[in-house]
Amino acid sequence: MTIATHDIRLASNADPASRTKRDAILDAAAAIFSQQGFAGASIDAIAVKAGVSRQTVYNQVGDKEKLFKAMVAELTQRSSAGFFRVLDTFPISPTNLQSELVDFACRLLRTYSCDPNSRWLIKLIENEASRYPELFEVWKEYGPGRKYPAIAARLAQLALAGLIELDDPILASRQFMALLTAEIRTDVLMGKQPSDAEIDRIATNAVTTFLKAFAARGHGAPGLG
């Protein structure tokens, strides 16, 4: 039942007994820190949200800085795990490229933009990166440093199969993600959750444009508008 499929050298603890309590604290910390910022988040508020006493926070995790780092490590792990779980469903040999890629994009959008872990993580990194450069480096290694190459590899397979045409898979992967997250960025910044229909529409738009740009010109791409 090890969750860490792509295991990360970040969080590593024993104590299966206090796991739940520690997790509750880290969950609460993620919510409060990402909402209030590092300075604005008070240990008291986190303790209350976690349903523990303040002293327990100090016992389990340590001071504010340790708490912050432990929480970011936890979020990084969860977010990364979720991403790669979805990536495993990439349509490598699709019968209908357009529709299967749209389905994949929907799944990605759901875990990338609707999962609180990922949203919080992004916000926290954006805000406190300058305060903790080493945290930023670790995130960059496990976030963009792995996600884009992983997508690029899948796209390269499609290109090899002659389904699309690419020069630079890494660039294509970045553009794929950019198109995908283009429309929701603004809304998702607030708590707004896009509906299923909206996610579908966004994914369709992104994939359509992506396939138009990278269509295999050799044998004429099927039904693209």
Partner DNA sequence: GACGAATTAGACAATATTGTCCAAAATTTT
Partner DNA sequence: AAAATTTTGGACAATATTGTCTAATTCGTC
Q: Which residues contact 115 (CB under 8 A, 6 or more apart)?
A: 79, 82
132 contacts a second copy (rule: CB under 8 A): no
* Binding partner selected for residue 212 from DNA, a second copy, none, CB under the kind-specific 5 to 8 Å limit: a second copy
Using the CB atoms, write b or e for 183-201: b if 16+ within 10 Å.
Answer: bbeeebeeeeebeeeebbe
Distances (CA, A) of 148 to 76, 107, 111, 140, 163: 16, 16, 16, 11, 20
Q: Which tokens belong to 174?
A: 């970045």
55 contacts a second copy (rule: CB under 8 A): no
Interface residues for DNA in 62-101 (CB under 7 A)? 63-65
* Binding partner selected for residue 53 from a second copy, DNA, none, CB under the kind-specific 5 to 8 Å limit: DNA
The three-state secondary structure class of 41 is coil
Which residue type sits at 191? G
Q: How many residues bind a second copy (CB under 8 A)?
A: 37
Q: By CB under 8 A, name the one of 66, 96, 127, 160 that touches a second copy.
A: 127
- Find the part of the chain contacting DNA (CB under 7 A) among 15-23, 73-81, 142-150, 154-162: 15-23
Q: How many residues bind DNA (CB under 7 A)?
A: 19
Footprint of DNA (CB under 7 A): 17-18, 21, 41-44, 51-56, 58-60, 63-65
